[in-house]
Amino acid sequence: MTIYVSGRLNVDYILMLQTPLIRGEKAVATELVVDYGGSGGNVATAIVRFIRKPGCVRFVGCVGSDVHGKSYVELLKSEGVDTTLIRTVANAPTGLAIVLVEPGGIATVISYRGANEVCSVDLGSLNDMKLLVLTNPPIELAYKLIDCAIKSSSGIVVDPSRGWTTINQLKALLEAKLCILAPNDNELMWLTGTHSLKHAIFTTLRVLPSCKLAIKRGSLGVLYVDPDQSMAIEIPALPVGEIGLRVLSTAGCGDTFTGVLSAALYEGWNLVEALQL
């Protein structure tokens, strides 16, 4: 059985800034790192590294016909990700992200969707699906994948970003066997058009009363809300400083969280235990 992941594949240009960003002011970078990222690629890589089973993750998405697209597909293959449903498109470049990392690790990301936006993939039956993970693919593609997941009684994990869609456009999730929304608090407020986390949660549960929420809150950890159990649990963040680690950048941390959560669910972990990993 397979985990299907669909989302963005980007080339990341990461600039380590000398000083905090000030809007309208010039900023100086002390280091440039070019790497491969995008929420979809990050999540897929995190899953396959956690499970350590090549081929258990199949990616659905698009890259451009440029050198970055070819290199990214080869990189995913080397990680053990099945790339047979990654389409190369000629009319758009591979997605691009500029990541500005301030002292202290706070990251600002500016993305150009490129091939991610024009993605159209022939899906087939996907009858080996066990879990679907969506990280901002084109909404039409998301609907097709949700329909496949419902038909195969697969669980669905959705990690939305700001600007991707609205909560009312995700009503198809009502029919899912298991639905988990995993945004951060700002993304959930954007998704629901509200201005407080409390109202965002209430709005989400009114529209999607069977969906569970795993709300990422950075240094505050995760807020887990399970409407079926009438339960809300605050799960603290890992104290990285106490185990000898230092935060260089928060970019990709939420994607890694979603990937490990999805991998644990695939392997049969209890959801609360998975959130505590």
**Which CATH number do you get for residue 151?**
3.40.1190.20
Residue type, 86: I
Q: What is the mean pLDDT of residues 167-190?
A: 94
Q: Is residue 251 part of a domain?
A: yes
Residue 87 in any domain: the answer is yes
Residues 6+ apart with CB under 8 A from 86: 9, 59, 60, 61, 62, 63, 73, 76
Cβ-based burial of 84 (10 A; exposed 0-12, middle 13-18, buried ≥19): exposed
Q: What is the distance between the alpha carbons of residues 36 and 99, in angstroms, rounded to a whole number? A: 12
200 assigned to some structural domain: yes
pLDDT band at 241 (very low <50, low <70, confident <90, very high): confident
On average, the pLDDT of the chain sits at 93
Q: Output the pLDDT for position 90.
A: 93
Please say if the pLDDT value at position 85 is more than 90.
yes
Count of domains forming the chain: 1
What 3-state DSSP class applies to 44? helix
Give the residue numbers spanning the domain of 51: 2-8+37-92+115-275
- For residue 273, which of 231, 233, 218 has the smallest C-alpha distance? 233
pTM of the predicted model over 0.85 = yes
Average the pLDDT over 241-253 and give the result: 75
Is 18 inside any structural domain? no
Residues 182-215 have pLDDT tens digits of 999 999 999 999 999 999 999 999 999 999 999 9
| In a domain? residue 140 | yes
Please, are residues 101 and 74 in contact by the beta-carbon 8 Å criterion?
A: no
Tokens found for residue 258 = 């979603």
Decide if 246 is inside a domain: yes
How many angstroms separate the CA atoms of 158 and 55, rounded? 21
- Residue 252 has a pLDDT of 78
Token pair belonging to 254:
């939420």
Which of these, 185, 187, 180, lies nearest to 262 by C-alpha position? 180
Give me 178's structure tokens: 């298991």
Instruction: For residue 29, tell me if it sits in a domain.
Output: no
pLDDT at 161 over 80: yes
- By C-alpha distance, which of 177, 186, 181, 135 is closest to 152? 177
Sequence-distant (6+) residues with CB within 8 A of 235 are 221, 222, 223, 224, 272, 275, 276
Confidence band (pLDDT; 50, 70, 90) for 244?
Answer: confident
If you average pLDDT over residues 259-269, what whole number do you get? 96
Per-residue burial over 106-132, b if 16 or more Cβ lie within 10 Å, else e, is bbebebebbbbeebebeeeebeebbbb
Residue-wise pLDDT tens digits, 51-77: 999 999 999 999 999 999 999 999 999
Q: How many CB atoms lie within 10 A of CB 246?
A: 7
* Cα maximum dimension of the chain: 53
pLDDT, position 113: 94
Q: How does 200-217 read in b/e, with b if 16+ C-beta sit within 10 Å?
A: bbebbeebbeebbbbbbb
157 secondary structure, DSSP code: E
- Per-residue pLDDT tens digits for 107-159: 898 999 999 998 778 888 798 999 999 999 999 999 999 999 999 999 999 99
Two tokens, residue 169: 């456009």
Position 240 scores a pLDDT of 76
- Whether residue 14 is contained in a domain is answered as no
pLDDT value at residue 124: 81
